[in-house]
Structure 1
Amino acid sequence: MTVPFELPPEDRESSPHTGYTRAHWEAVADGLLAAAWRWSTPECALLDLPGRPSRSGVRSDGLEGYARTFLAAAFRVAGAGGADPHGWLDRYASGLTAGTRTPGRDDTESWPLILDHHVQGQPMVESASVALGLRLTAPWLWKNLDADVQDRAEEWLRGALRHTPAPNNWYLFPYTVAGFLESVGRGDAETAAVRQRARELLEGWYVGDGWYADGDGRAFDHYNGWALHLYPVLDAHLAGTDREPYGSRLRRHLDGFSLLFGGDGAPLHFGRSLTYRFAAASAVALGAVTGHTPLPPGTSRRLISGSLRYFLDRGALTEDGLLSLGWHGPHDATLQTYSGPSSPYWASKAFVALLAPPEHPLWTAREELAPAETADHVLALPAPGLLIQSTRADGIVRLHNHGSDHVRPHEGESAAAEDPHYGRQAYSTHTGPTAKANVADNHLSVEVGGRGSARCRVRPLGAGQGDGWGWAASWHRPVFAAGPPMVPGLRVESVTVARGPYELRVHRVTGAPADSRVTQTGWATGPEQPLVSALHGLLGWDEDALVRAPQGTAYTRWAQVPRLAGPAGGTTTHVSLAVLGAEPVAPAEAVSGVAADDDAVEVTWASDGARTRIEWAPLAVSLVPWHG
């Protein structure tokens, strides 16, 4: 699709895969800012973009417009050494002056107060963007403000230090505010305490393999990159220090995370706040800027520019240049209730790439292939319980989820709380989860008395890999939306084995009442997608069908999902082979034999005679080569 503002000519010599250069990033930043500023209040304090309001209300949404676009402007100007040909900083200085004059008042310009997260707390999120924007542009904006405006801004920002954040990445918002105040000589015991508290929580949330949980519990998603790594690593970089262990953790994170971009540039469609789109590339850009990356600079540029262009080419912008609420274009099922018209502008975090000056290798090195384009990959991440699988031929990346959920430790399990963005067994760069009201994709359901179950809390059992293959396993307690919420003793143990383009899905259901049924679904695809989604029953199934998901996904207006069904009762084993790709695959081409007993499952691969063996107690997964 046509981008509704002018971009420089493509440079296929320097950037053979995307055509994008640093000049394109500057032009996109300027285009997004110009479009958003058409909707500002007279004194520039609020950007009231058109669209349905968030649950926080119109005034908070207006502050969000100011704060999140300020990030883009700040990276743009700071990366240019203060050059500001479009005068963005004058507008943000005016808005800061007006917004902090009488905070909390219901007038045209006043910013809302920063309160606890459960009391219209969204301004705390935006305070971090305001503070980071001020820190990045301090030599040109902050230092030229009148002293009384500086004092008013400090007093408003300190609301973030004096109120309670949400129990997750939100603790990095006061951390960022405090970092700015200390950087301009306004630090004290209050700022120090806030920063120490955030560091302590980060230590508790770090699980290994470069991944943080987003708060207590096991929620792993894109917040790792655009929040939990970004704020502490960027804070240290701006301070001119190299605070460990944050830099080395980012480097470790990018080892695996760099595999989560498809050959077409798409980031993985997984977790919440996906309307932030190309913010998913911010960790890659930050690693290149700070040096905390295992990636060559040409690979980093391929990933960040590929992600940016992926969305621009697929209708993420409205006709007047605004970022829409959705994925490609508008898509309600992708959204959360906290999303408002300005929410997509957290995508501005990707412009951290502009902190690398024009002579930086990020911009001068020739673009290289993305990891998903170089070879087939299988990577197990035992700490978060994730298994990454990519195939070079079609550029598809799949994430098999055996460790991430959206249930906090103090919460009980409820089918009503099932979250399509976390509870599914698998996610990809080319498909999205179906909406909650439709049939669930990539889901095993135990049906008792005609009632289907949900998977809420995911308990990891392990993950590992060998040469060209890998596995991950978990168990869950099925919960039900209708009738009794649980069946005593009912348990599902699940193992995914990835090898080449194939996904072997093995489940052992124990404690199921007699006459129960089990269903397993595969990938959701639609008529607009040149993809084949197949689910082949290998053991424990007696029927298969294609079922419709009329609400579609973020990739297609209407979808269909392959589904298997089979009997359960007592202890049963169910084995299937899932395939998502450009070409159909007959099951005989992949698997030549399946055997199972109470203790183990063994699958023989048709291509080379190797055998995958899964033993249940204790759990062990192995690949035994064929020796003739």
Structure 2
Amino acid sequence: MRLPPLDRVLSPRTGYTRAHWETAADALLAAVEPYATEDSALYHLPGTHESWSGHLSDGLEGYARTLLLAAFRRDETALGRYADGLAAGVSGVWPRIEDRGQPLVEAASIALALRLTRPLLWDRLDDAVRQRAAAWLGDALTAEPWPCNWELFPVTVGGFLESIGHAPKASREAIDRGLERIEQWYVGDGWYSDGAGRAFDYYNGWAMHLYPVLHAWLAEDRDLLALYGGRLRAHLGDYARLFGGDGAPLHQGRSLTYRFATTAPLWLGALTGHTPLGPGETRRLASGALRYFLDRGAVDEHGLLTLGWHGPDPSVLQGYSGPASPYWASKGFLGLLLPPDHEVWTADEEPGPAEREDAATSIAAPNWLLQSTRSDGLVRLHNHGSEDVRYDPHYTRLAYSTRTTPSPSYDNSVVVGGDPSRTGIEPLGVGDGWAASRHTAGGGARVTGVVLVRGATEVRIHRVTGAEPGTPVRVTGWAAGEGTRSELLPVLGLDHSLTGHTTDGTGVFVALARLTAEPEPVAEPLAETVSVQPAGPDELHVRWRGGPGVSVAMTEESVQVRSLAARTDG
């Protein structure tokens, strides 16, 4: 992909400007054009990983997701091709929209694109084509979605159909029904679970916030925009911390092959005026993510986005991933809806959170602790509240980062009796530099876990109960990744191989961990950064070198973290 020269004046950190985004969008659109069918209704991109929906549905996915990119780019030549494809698609080529079928997902992208470009595409279609298209989309109004972010696809289709006066009653019912259903998953402070349970990941940004906020904005509904925009604003305060100094998003959750779709909520906040971020910071974070992936092989020699993270990588795929799935990355180009003279494009880049400070940020809703270090721009997520066992290992590990990937050999885990599973995660709270949870492992044993962080150092504490006497317990740390160094030291209850054994079915196991991306090894030995000493049968004292001391008291039901100086509840 040939991009313009870097602009280190306007964008001293990434070098990217609006011209880079426009050029990248144009290149991606040009690359997929040869793979369109003769009638332009389907885009059959190359690849061997066919989704469980089948070849025809995958072709529709290729059309819909690249149409969304053309809509954000407002490329009238490309939109003309997609108009031809729409006419053919709704004349019998496209599969029908049915309950819990992939066409429901793609209908939302098509409807959103049509709503955004109505004067350029929809209004130029023949009336007969418009009627057939509305009828095809209309099936989405009553199709049953999966109970997760899919509830927002009928909302998005309903918003477009209502705006053109098609089936107004059914459209309004679909909008109201979907918005009502996602309320049960809103957990506060700008965070949603993606369906029942505690599945927290990027779907918060590229689905749960994106569709309601865009719908409210396009409908010019002030009340809805105040509600959903306020939630977006709250979310972005946390969300901005999920990006490393090198632009990388945290490697956690499912559908990671959507890559720089992670930037969509950043742009959305600027587009609608609901963001706590300055314009220079917004562009820095978004451009950083785009450049991160383009610099690391996300686009192949044919100019196509591959199924993977950097390059092709089957470890980040799901059963629904097809050759065109990565083109949900199109959502990352939402910022092109902002005019060239908007301050988000004209302001000087400002550093993101990971570049400004060493920070330990607790996020109560998902029960996460984010740990970042300015010297290497590395962000680590300590997961004490997110779980979706269908997609292990990208939900259930103890920690994730912007520079590592979960390993098949169970990194960041507590292995009880040879069983590395972590199920039934129950949050036990977060606070200033700490997070805690409880989970089930090893055939029914219970593990109460606490992590405390300062700088790059982590104190990992695990209290195991309910195991057979003498059960082996092994603690694992970071699997070193791209340019990183990983350390793990035993402190209490563990031998040099990071293995210990329960006594009477119970045991407390403590290790120190450190993950860095410094060009040189950290001068200060890990063991000298902190001391951990028993202070009773269920209490430990943790004293940071040159810093505060805390008491950690654990039972199977609760965790209390208190300052040794002030003795206030944590």
1:574 to 506, 509, 513: 509
1:290 to 253, 258, 272: 272
1:74 aligned counterpart, secondary structure: helix
Equivalent residue runs for 1:91-490 within 5 Å: 91-102=81-92, 110-117=93-100, 121-242=101-222, 243=224, 244-407=226-389, 417=390, 419-435=392-408, 439-447=409-417, 451-465=418-432, 470-479=433-442, 486-487=443-444, 490=445
Q: Aligned-pair distance for 1:231?
A: 0.4
Is the contact between residue 538 and residue 576 of structure 1 (CA under 8 Å) also seen in structure 2? yes
Please tell me the residue identity of whatever aligns with 1:446.
V
1:170 aligned counterpart, secondary structure: helix
Q: Aligned-pair distance for 1:456?
A: 2.1
Is the contact between residue 497 and residue 503 of structure 1 (CA under 8 Å) also seen in structure 2? yes
> For residues 472 and 588 of structure 1, what CA distance do their matches in structure 2 show?
21
Q: 1:51 is matched with which residue? A: 47
Is the contact between residue 418 and residue 454 of structure 1 (CA under 8 Å) also seen in structure 2? no
Please tell me the residue identity of whatever aligns with 1:458.
I
> For residues 429 and 134 of structure 1, what CA distance do their matches in structure 2 show?
35
Identity of aligned residues (%): 54
CA RMSD of aligned residues (A): 1.5
Deviations 1:321-372 (A, max 9, x none): 0000000000011111110110000000011111110111100110011111
Is the contact between residue 469 and residue 506 of structure 2 (CA under 8 Å) also seen in structure 1? no
Q: 1:90 is matched with which residue? A: 80
2:61 to 56, 64, 83: 64
Q: 2:485 matched to 1:532? A: yes
Q: 1:39 is matched with which residue? A: 35
Please tell me the residue identity of whatever aligns with 2:15.
G
1:350 aligned counterpart, secondary structure: helix
Q: Aligned-pair distance for 1:239?
A: 1.9
5+ residue gaps, structure 2 = none
Is the contact between residue 512 and residue 527 of structure 2 (CA under 8 Å) also seen in structure 1? no
> For residues 167 and 117 of structure 2, what CA distance do their matches in structure 1 show?
18
Q: Aligned-pair distance for 1:165?
A: 0.6
TM-score by length of 2: 0.95
Q: 2:455 is matched with which residue? A: 500
Deviations 1:57-106 (A, max 9, x none): 111110000000011100110xxxxx63xx1011110000001101xxxx
User: Structure 1 stretch 578-587 or stretch 382-391: which is displaced more?
Assistant: 578-587
2:468 aligned counterpart, secondary structure: strand
Deviations 1:388-427 (A, max 9, x none): 11100010001111110015xxxxxxxxx57100010000
> For residues 419 and 532 of structure 2, what CA distance do their matches in structure 1 show?
30
> 1:359 and 1:418, CA in 2 relative to 1: closer, same or farther beyond 3 A?
closer
Q: Aligned-pair distance for 1:515?
A: 1.7
Is the contact between residue 424 and residue 443 of structure 1 (CA under 8 Å) also seen in structure 2? yes
Is the contact between residue 543 and residue 566 of structure 1 (CA under 8 Å) also seen in structure 2? no
> For residues 181 and 382 of structure 2, what CA distance do their matches in structure 1 show?
27
2:470 aligned counterpart, secondary structure: strand
Deviations 1:213-237 (A, max 9, x none): 0011110000000000000111111
2:467 to 512, 518, 538: 512
> For residues 404 and 187 of structure 1, what CA distance do their matches in structure 2 show?
39
> For residues 8 and 35 of structure 2, what CA distance do their matches in structure 1 show?
36
Q: 1:620 is matched with which residue? A: 560
1:378 aligned counterpart, secondary structure: strand
> For residues 241 and 392 of structure 1, what CA distance do their matches in structure 2 show?
41
Deviations 1:590-619 (A, max 9, x none): 1234224322111222233x3221112442
Q: 1:589 is matched with which residue? A: 528
2:466 aligned counterpart, secondary structure: strand
> For residues 201 and 378 of structure 1, what CA distance do their matches in structure 2 show?
34
2:549 to 602, 611, 626: 611
> For residues 184 and 495 of structure 1, what CA distance do their matches in structure 2 show?
54
User: Structure 1 stretch 136-145 or stretch 586-595: which is displaced more?
Assistant: 586-595
5+ residue gaps, structure 1 = 78-82, 103-109, 408-416, 480-485, 545-563
Is the contact between residue 591 and residue 603 of structure 1 (CA under 8 Å) also seen in structure 2? yes
Q: Aligned-pair distance for 1:625?
A: 4.9
> For residues 267 and 290 of structure 2, what CA distance do their matches in structure 1 show?
12
2:460 aligned counterpart, secondary structure: strand
Please tell me the residue identity of whatever aligns with 1:580.
L
Question: How many residues were matched structurally?
Answer: 557
Q: Aligned-pair distance for 1:210?
A: 1.1
Is the contact between residue 588 and residue 606 of structure 1 (CA under 8 Å) also seen in structure 2? no
> For residues 502 and 415 of structure 2, what CA distance do their matches in structure 1 show?
11
> 1:297 and 1:397, CA in 2 relative to 1: closer, same or farther beyond 3 A?
same
